[in-house]
Amino acid sequence: MSVLASLMAGSRVTNFFKRIWTSLTSWFIDERGWLKIIALLAVVIVGFIIVKIILTVIRKIIGKSKLKGIAGNFIVTIIKIALIFIYLITVLHVLGINTSSFVALFTVGTLAISLAIQSVISNFASGMILVTNHPFKEGDFVEIAGVSGTVEKITLFSTKIKTPDNKVISVPNSSVAGGNIINYSTEEKRRVDLTFGVAYGSDVDKVKLTIVSELDKHELVLHDDGYTVRLGEQAASSLNFVCRCWVKSADYWSVFYDLNERMVKRFADEGIEIPYNKLDVNVISQKEAKK
């Protein structure tokens, strides 16, 4: 019985493979399956070559443009994913597989992901705007989103700022692009605005000449551009003089601190009083109080 069972099982297996072979032969010859195979191979090979060529051309274009580094690599990655998706859909279509469901699934998945990472997409879009518009570059001293410092690095999602006290702050690009951007490094020259207070009773002309003489002596002040020294305000306890001069952007803080320090010494040498808060105390004796 066991031998008979083995023969019957072997016969079923043989018949199974015969049916498969007959079906394959019929599909390959009668239904011209060989054309589908050739078409599939052509699509696979030609599609692969086309994707490679497109990516190579895009890399060269980006390499010659200003979108280098992280921005360029990110753009290439996005285009590569899109091309591969189109490539796979085309291959499935040649195989006779209905691709509408795959496209719908991809669309729904993309929508779901985009809703889940809205902030990331917003930062990415803002990063692309910053990279293409160039409101500032690495090394510029800027004031953005309430942060002042030197731009260390611009990525697609955030901008890294190094503050004067050596802190590195990552500011989301959406905050950068959505607010005011003050770039102090765009122009070669920058104006220094200072205010010096002196006591009431001081000689106005003498104060002005004293400030002007210090501006004349400072080697970093751009004398040819002129400067302004005028009485700007009669405040509650001081006469405030406005001092404005032009310097190179890189020398701004040196001149700012130098003039503040020099004017304190110069006012003391010239006998010009710098006001400060005073408190007058009147002592009344008991006898005077009774009167």
DSSP output for 101-136: HHHHHHHHHHHHHHHHTHHHHHHHHHHHHHHHH-S-
Q: Which of 238, 268, 256, 264 is nearest to 194 (CA)?
A: 256
Collapsing DSSP states into helix, strand and coil, what is residue 190? Answer: strand
* The predicted structure's pLDDT at residue 43: 77
**Phi, psi for residue 114 in degrees, rounded to 5:** -65, -35
**Mean pLDDT rounded to a whole number for the chain:** 79
* The predicted structure's pLDDT at residue 146: 85
When comparing pLDDT for 174 and 14, which is higher?
174
Instruction: Say if residue 169 is exposed, middle or buried (CB neighbours under 10 Å; 0-12, 13-18, 19+).
Output: middle
User: What's the whole-number mean pLDDT along residues 165-175?
Assistant: 89
* The predicted structure's pLDDT at residue 279: 60
Helix spans in 117-203 (H): 118-133, 173-178
* The predicted structure's pLDDT at residue 261: 95
Q: Which of 247, 221, 222, 233 is nearest to 275 (CA)?
A: 233
pLDDT at 282 exceeding the cut of 60: yes
pLDDT at 28 exceeding the cut of 70: no
Q: What distances in angstroms separate CA 272 from CA 17, 71, 80, 218, 266, one per listed residue?
A: 112, 58, 72, 20, 8
Collapsing DSSP states into helix, strand and coil, what is residue 167? Answer: coil
Distance CA 143, CA 141 (A): 7
pLDDT at 158 exceeding the cut of 60: yes
When comparing pLDDT for 223 and 58, which is higher?
223
| Strand order across the 239-248 sheet | 189-198, 239-248, 227-234
* The predicted structure's pLDDT at residue 195: 95
Distance CA 180, CA 160 (A): 17
pLDDT in tens, 190-220: 999 999 999 999 999 999 999 999 999 999 9
* The predicted structure's pLDDT at residue 219: 94
pLDDT at 128 exceeding the cut of 70: yes
* The predicted structure's pLDDT at residue 139: 86
pLDDT in tens, 80-125: 877 887 878 777 777 666 666 666 666 766 666 565 556 667 777 7
Domains belonging to the chain, first-starting first, are: 25-116 (1.10.287), 136-183 (2.30.30.60), 189-270 (3.30.70.100)
Q: Which range (1-10, 96-105, 136-145) has the least confidence?
A: 1-10
